[in-house]
Amino acid sequence: MPSSRWTTWAWMLLLSGCAMGWPKQSSSATSDIRNCTTSPPFLPPTVTDTSAQLNALRQRMQFYNISAYIVPATDAHMSEYIAERDARLAWISGFTGSAGTGVVTTKKAALWTDSRYWTQAERQMDCNWELQKIVWTDSIGEWLLQEIPAGENIGLDPFLFSIDLWNSYAHVLQGSSRTLVPIEDNLVDLVWGTQRPPSPTSKIYLLPETFTG
Ligand SMILES: *[C@@H]1O[C@H](CO)[C@@H](O)[C@H](O)[C@H]1NC(C)=O
Ligand SMILES: *[C@@H]1O[C@H](CO)[C@@H](O)[C@H](O)[C@H]1NC(C)=O
């Protein structure tokens, strides 16, 4: 009977409301992802405040005369699972997923990652960062074209990009009078400074042929 079903619903609502502390807490307190549209923004405790990191990085960018800096999640071996010392994207953005690309401009910061990581990104990033959900390099390039005025430079650490990836970015920017500039000093590392974790010291071992084929 519909009426008894409604009674059941009402009870469930009330009970779950009580379980979540309702009505004493605001509705945002029951959410574990950020909400940057409220004022002030709602940030769950899992978020990293990246304001200081971004300010410091932007100062370095100014020194190197670049208007955007691209930060990949990979290390210099293009590995997806990396040492803490190489977790530059995590340090600058708060996002610890294994795949993604960050771009920091003088005013904005954006992170591209695939659908596996959207919720995690919304739990870990503060409102300095926007989440971009289309992960093709072309879409990063087009965003750069939108954000960076003609005549300005876009920097990256050449050790962290494959030739193919470099070419993809160069291709989108070609003829746009924005220049892709390789900077051998990693700007995130410069800002990270002495806080940057040391290299791992665990022993290297050979994988037996049974695993490698
Ligand atoms: C953020 O908060 C606004 C205003 O309360 C609400 O309309 C919106 O749905 C919320 N967004 C998310 C992702 O929770
Ligand atoms: C910064 O880069 C732009 C674009 O390449 C160039 O025109 C300008 O002279 C550079 N400024 C300095 C201070 O190097």
Q: Is the CB of 153 under 6 A from ligand 2?
A: yes
Write out pLDDT tens, residues 160-190: 999 999 999 999 999 999 999 999 999 999 9
Mean pLDDT of 68-72: 98
What pLDDT does residue 135 have? Answer: 80
Closest-CA residue, ligand 1 atom 14, reads 35
Averaged pLDDT for residues 137-151:
95
Average pLDDT over residues 1-6: 48
CATH 3.40.350.10 fits 51-194, yes or no: yes
Cβ(156)–Cβ(103) below 8 Å:
no
pLDDT at residue 5 in the model: 53
Q: Which of 63, 64, 65, 154 to mutate to test the pocket of ligand 2 (most atoms within 8 A of CB)?
A: 65
Question: Could you tell me which residues are beta bridge partners of residue 48?
Answer: 125
Q: Is any atom of ligand 2 closer than 6 Å to the C-beta of 65?
A: yes
The string of pLDDT tens digits covering residues 5-63 is 555 555 554 445 444 444 444 454 568 999 999 999 999 999 999 999 999 999 999 99
- Between the two ends of the chain, the Cα-to-Cα distance in Å is 64
pLDDT averaged over every residue in the chain:
89
Ligand 1 within 6 A of CB of 38: yes
Q: Return the ligand 2 atom nearest residue 65 CA.
A: 1
Element (H, E) at 22: none
Work out which ligand 1 atom sits closest to the CA atom of 36: 1
Q: Where are the domains of the chain?
A: 51-194
